[in-house]
Structure 1
């Protein structure tokens, strides 16, 4: 990876919703194995779903710049070609005006040891870039990151 395609993140946030019917320990162990975010780092709160069902809202923060970058590389390198192409082609839809990068990963597939993008029932990962003063350059950097990891 050349120096101009290196994207540095200041931190990352990992969030997920666990339903009462899901094995909490199993899901957190799968997330830890796939993403290397320790299960013990997740904190959460009990809540109620749309139909009154019990859910747990869990979140963890990867506050080290080095670990956040490693997490991004780990996720992107684990994605299949189609998902990487989707990110590359539609990177604007995965980032905001501050240059934050948002990835939604399929929770069920993570439990199977596979990493793929998802729209619903997802593990949400938000990456905050180190430099926020040029969000438009973040998009180009993200494209470079996606194309450089194989």
Structure 2
């Protein structure tokens, strides 16, 4: 069972700049969710940018394994082969000592319903992985991603 649901907790964060439409950012994030998984309400925190501009940080949290894993899998399945290869090649840098995996997705593409890796103005993903005590989380995710792409 743990093999099929390796994500026990998922956090999705997106910044909304003063010039952006909050609803468009909400749509970008909701496009990452698979059909049948309800998009949870987000928590909003007001921030101030470097130049004094107004920002909001929107944070969605999935605390249950099934919706967290299915949403994360949907994001991975949405990536093109080059992005997926980049994730696999950089997996050891994406997973920290606490078994959290990090990924950034292009917010503008997500608003259009396209899932792509991105570094600027991105949607930040943090997946808390469920990995047995002595198991290697990098190997575990490599196997999981390869299983996902074989099934697709």
* TM-score using structure 1 length: 0.88
The match for 1:96 is 96
Assess if the C-alpha contact under 8 Å between 1:9 and 1:65 holds in 2: yes
Contact 2:92 2:138 in 1 (8 A): yes
Measure, in 1, the Cα distance between the counterparts of 2:30 and 2:41: 10
Q: Retained in 1: the 8 A contact 2:131–2:140? A: no
Gaps of 5+ in 2: none
**Would the aligned equivalents of 1:98 and 1:132 in 2 still touch at CA under 8 Å?**
no
Count residues with an aligned counterpart.
146
> How far apart in 1 are the matches of 2:144 and 2:125?
16
Task: Give the CA RMSD over aligned residues.
Answer: 1.9
TM-score, length basis structure 2: 0.87
Q: Structure 1: give runs of 5+ residues left out of the alignment.
A: none
Q: Could you say which structure has the higher helix fraction?
A: 1
Q: Distance in 1 between matches of 2:98 and 2:138?
A: 11
Q: Does the aligned pair in 2 maintain the 1:104–1:125 contact within 8 Å?
A: yes
Is 2:15 the counterpart of 1:32?
Answer: no
User: Within 2, Cα distance between the matches of 1:4 and 1:94?
Assistant: 20
